[in-house]
């Protein structure tokens, strides 16, 4: 029996998961890495540390499964998106710490671009102009690090996102490693045209980036090459899938038809909706992105909306207010009252993301009475997670004209059944959680397995799909009508505040 391996290189940790034919987890290992914070607004990772962790998690997961690299039919990579680094193709070493997606050091550079540049970037890439994406990070590396400048001049510099770094290292590094990325990761750089799926000359010029240092853009599912037998697999295994983390979760959730949508509930929320072969350009504050591209088939696109504060509002109840001591306690506390008692909580701690994009908004708790308790506040916090998610989904429906009938979910908060029931009632649709909650790693495994014929096609994968839990919307629930109206009133208070 052979297996599929999936390397999930995330923001806080790196994991390797081994899946079997039915998509079940055989073994896994995970290692955290340091968050390097040199100054306010700067966030870096040590790419060497991540490479060491990558080798270790692969070795240990193989050991735990009692198999060798040769037992893997293929491996896939999924990764934290946008995080960017430069390395030396001869020494195989990073030339600077990786600049993480959260890093805002390049805001001033972006502010200095012309309105015409902004328009081109927006139209061609489907993204907003933000330091979050890779383009301005690469510009920073090229203009602020003498080592990188020097390496570019002498033709030794390679630049890429985390997928590229890991793929290059796994396929041999300075002994002929492949310098590649996939369309989903490339679609987060501000440098790729969504239509051509290639690096765009005008965009490269705006950011001052020579194309020679960039990886080749590949599909998300094909045999790119093989791992170096001298590396952690100890064998030549087909490297056959690459997807950015949110897109990988879409594939792992089998959101493969137009209209299919998933939300990952973590510290913040990420919602993506498949728009098929259509590029939907947003006028409602959503991002347009590549969802996946399987081999020679046409690319599938998605629109994406993120909510900055969801799980972190629960952390705030725990750490700042001290009304719970563990995140999981919020459910029982909220359940101890039958409704929110008229209390609405808008956790706009650092502004609001989609669909509002107001960095100046600040949080509010409204509707307090003498009878309000911490339980009402806990309930209001859970409702806020769901109302914010509905705001994004409503914006998506306006954009695509597609009305959802159900939504697939994953992430830490989905353990909270009350929250998921509130979500169903607030949106008026069913909420579905799959058996395998590791959807991010599963997506890259699916992409790799499809490429090598380990699975016959997406129909076979659909046959494996199993629902762990479904929360049904109660018809005409008051939270959907009056509750949502009150939420919107509360929301205006946070926008009025500034």
The contact set with ligand ADP (CB under 6 A) reads 266-267, 311-312, 314-315, 327-328, 330-331, 411-413, 415-416, 419
Minimum CB–partner distance for residue 311 and ligand ADP (Å):
2
| Torsion, CA 351, CA 80, CA 295, CA 290, rounded to 10 | 10
CB closer to ligand ADP out of 159 and 436: 436
CB closer to ligand ADP out of 171 and 306: 306
Q: State the alpha helices, DSSP H only, in 408-438.
A: 417-427
CB closer to ligand ADP out of 36 and 204: 36
- What's the CA gap between 236 and 74, in Å, rounded? 9
Minimum CB–partner distance for residue 20 and ligand ADP (Å):
24
Q: Classify 208 as helix, strand or coil.
A: coil
Minimum CB–partner distance for residue 386 and ligand ADP (Å):
11
- What's the CA gap between 194 and 290, in Å, rounded? 7
CB closer to ligand ADP out of 95 and 382: 382
Minimum CB–partner distance for residue 326 and ligand ADP (Å):
8
CB closer to ligand ADP out of 218 and 379: 379
Minimum CB–partner distance for residue 207 and ligand ADP (Å):
29
Residue 15 dihedral angles phi and psi, to the nearest 5°? -130, 150
Minimum CB–partner distance for residue 413 and ligand ADP (Å):
4
CB closer to ligand ADP out of 42 and 316: 316
Minimum CB–partner distance for residue 85 and ligand ADP (Å):
22
**For residue 334, what are the CA distances in angstroms to 112, 129, 418?**
47, 39, 8
CB closer to ligand ADP out of 247 and 416: 416
Q: Which of 478, 484, 490 is nearest to 347 (CA)?
A: 490
CB closer to ligand ADP out of 212 and 328: 328
Instruction: Give the up-direction half-sphere exposure of residue 446: CA atoms within 13 A in the CB hemisphere.
Output: 32
- What's the CA gap between 215 and 158, in Å, rounded? 8
Q: What is the DSSP letter of 244?
A: E
Phi-psi region of 315 (alpha: psi -120 to 50; beta: other; left: phi over 0): alpha
Q: Which of 55, 24, 2 is nearest to 438 (CA)?
A: 24
| Torsion, CA 398, CA 399, CA 403, CA 405, rounded to 10 | -120
> Do 250 and 292 meet the contact criterion of CB atoms below 8 Å apart?
yes
Minimum CB–partner distance for residue 11 and ligand ADP (Å):
8
Locate 229 and state its tokens: 């037998």
């Amino acid at each position: 029996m052979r297996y599929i391996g999936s390397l999930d290189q995330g923001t806080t940790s790196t994991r390797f998961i081994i899946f079997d034919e039915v998509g079940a987890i055989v073994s896994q290992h995970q290692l955290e890495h340091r968050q390097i914070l040199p100054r306010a607004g700067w966030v870096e990772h040590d790419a060497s540390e991540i490479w060491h962790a990558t080798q270790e998690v692969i070795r240990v997961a193989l050991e735990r499964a009692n198999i060798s690299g040769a037992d893997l039919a293929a491996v896939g990579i999924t990764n934290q998106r946008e995080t960017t680094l430069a390395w030396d193709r001869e020494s195989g070493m990073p030339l600077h710490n990786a600049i993480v997606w959260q890093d805002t050091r390049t805001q001033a550079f972006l502010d200095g671009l012309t309105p015409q540049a902004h328009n081109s970037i927006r139209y061609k890439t489907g993204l907003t102009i933000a330091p979050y994406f890779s383009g301005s990070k690469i510009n920073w590396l090229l203009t602020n690090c003498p080592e990188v400048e020097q390496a570019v001049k002498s033709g030794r510099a390679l630049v890429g996102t985390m997928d590229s770094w890991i793929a290059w290292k796994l396929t041999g590094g300075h002994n002929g490693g492949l310098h590649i990325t996939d369309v989903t990761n490339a679609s987060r750089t501000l440098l790729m045209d969504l239509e051509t799926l290639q690096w765009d000359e005008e965009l490269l010029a705006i950011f001052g980036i020579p194309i020679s240092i960039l990886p080749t853009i590949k599909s998300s599912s094909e045999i790119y090459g093989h791992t170096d037998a001298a590396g952690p697999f100890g064998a030549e295994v087909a490297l056959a899938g690459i997807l950015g983390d949110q897109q990988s979760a879409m594939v792992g959730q089998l959101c493969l038809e137009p209209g299919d949508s998933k939300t990952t509930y973590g510290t913040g929320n990420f919602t993506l909706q498949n728009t098929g072969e259509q590029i939907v350009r947003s006028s409602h504050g959503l991002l347009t992105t590549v969802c996946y591209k399987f081999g020679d088939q046409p690319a599938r696109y998605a629109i994406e909306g993120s909510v900055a504060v969801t799980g972190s509002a629960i952390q705030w109840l725990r750490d700042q207010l001290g009304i719970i001591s563990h995140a999981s306690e919020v459910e029982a506390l909220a359940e101890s009252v039958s409704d929110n008692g008229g209390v609405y909580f808008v956790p706009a701690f650092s502004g609001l993301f989609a669909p509002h994009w107001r960095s100046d908004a600040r949080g509010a708790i409204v509707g307090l009475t003498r009878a309000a308790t911490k339980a009402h506040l806990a309930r209001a916090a859970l409702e806020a997670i769901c109302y914010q998610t509905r705001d994004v989904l409503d914006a998506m429906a306006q954009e695509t004209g597609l009305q959802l009938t159900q939504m697939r979910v994953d992430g830490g908060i989905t353990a909270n059944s009350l929250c998921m029931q509130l979500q169903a009632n607030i949106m008026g649709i069913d909420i579905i959680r799959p058996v395998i909650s590791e959807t991010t790693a599963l997506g890259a495994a699916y992409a790799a397995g499809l490429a090598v014929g380990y699975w016959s096609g997406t129909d076979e994968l659909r046959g494996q799909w199993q629902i762990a839990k479904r929360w049904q919307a109660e018809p005409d629930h008051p939270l959907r009508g009056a509750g949502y109206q009150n939420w919107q009133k509360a929301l205006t208070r946070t926008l009025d505040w500034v």
